[in-house]
Every structure is written in structure tokens, then in C-alpha cells.
Amino acid sequence: MNQAEPPTEVQSPAQRAGIIASFACLACSAYLFWVVSPAVELLGAWWAELLVYTVIPIALTFTILHGSDFHREMARAARASFLFLVACLIFSGTFFFMVVLVFCACAFPGVGRTGP
């Protein structure tokens, strides 16, 4: 092993930004679904729900990725488009994770409980 090379366990700043953006998207989506959903349902417009539940987590994820060192070498428009695509992919993965989590909670309601 070369002494000048960092160990393989160390993450690059781009990887760290992706992980932070993923957790932020998950936390933002969960917050919106559990806390903000009664206020959004009062509006009664489908486009308001779409706006709140998708645009806000994607915008948060994009902002975190854009502020990081993630592909700074790319041209401005290409980098913005690429980061928007990555933010949408992260949101899709987060949404899929939440659907699987809710499905498991509904399919196995008594798992982990001890007692009547």
C-alpha cells in the first residue's frame, strides 16, 4: 500500500454529500408526510400536494448537492442538470424505501411485541 494514498475506508466529499443529501431527503419527506400533511389536505388541490411532497424534498436534495464539491469540473448548465437528475434519483430511492417500510409495518403488525 502506498503511503500517499488514503485508505479505502475514507469517503470522498462527493460520496459524503450524496449520503447527507439522501438522509436529508428522507428526513424531509418523513416530516412532510407526518407533520405537514393535515395542512396540505385542507387545501384540497392535488397540485398543492404534488408541490409539497415532491418539489420540497427534491429542492433540498439539489441544494445540498449543489453546495458540495460534486462534479465541480462540469460546465454550469450540465452540472445543474446532472445534479437535478441525481436529486430526482435520490428522491425516488427515498420514496421507494418509505413505501417498503410502510408495507412491512402493515404486513407484520405484531412483530417485536411481547405481551398481550
pLDDT digits (tens, 9 = 90+) for 10-36: 767 778 889 999 999 999 998 988 888
Domain ranges for the chain, please list them.
Answer: 13-105
Q: How far is Cα 113 from Cα 78, in angstroms, rounded to an integer?
A: 51
pTM: 0.77
Task: Name the amino acid, one letter, at 69.
Answer: D
Residue with cell 398481550: 116
> Do 68 and 14 form a contact (C-beta atoms < 8 A)?
yes
Model pLDDT for residues 69-112, shown as the tens digit of each residue: 878 888 889 999 999 999 999 999 999 998 898 888 888 776 65
Which burial class, exposed, middle or buried, applies to 30 when counting CB atoms under 10 A from its CB (0-12, 13-18, 19+)? middle
Does residue 61 register a pLDDT over 90?
Answer: yes
Given a cut of 70, is residue 42 above it in pLDDT? yes
Helix (H) or strand (E) holding 26, with range, is: helix 13-31
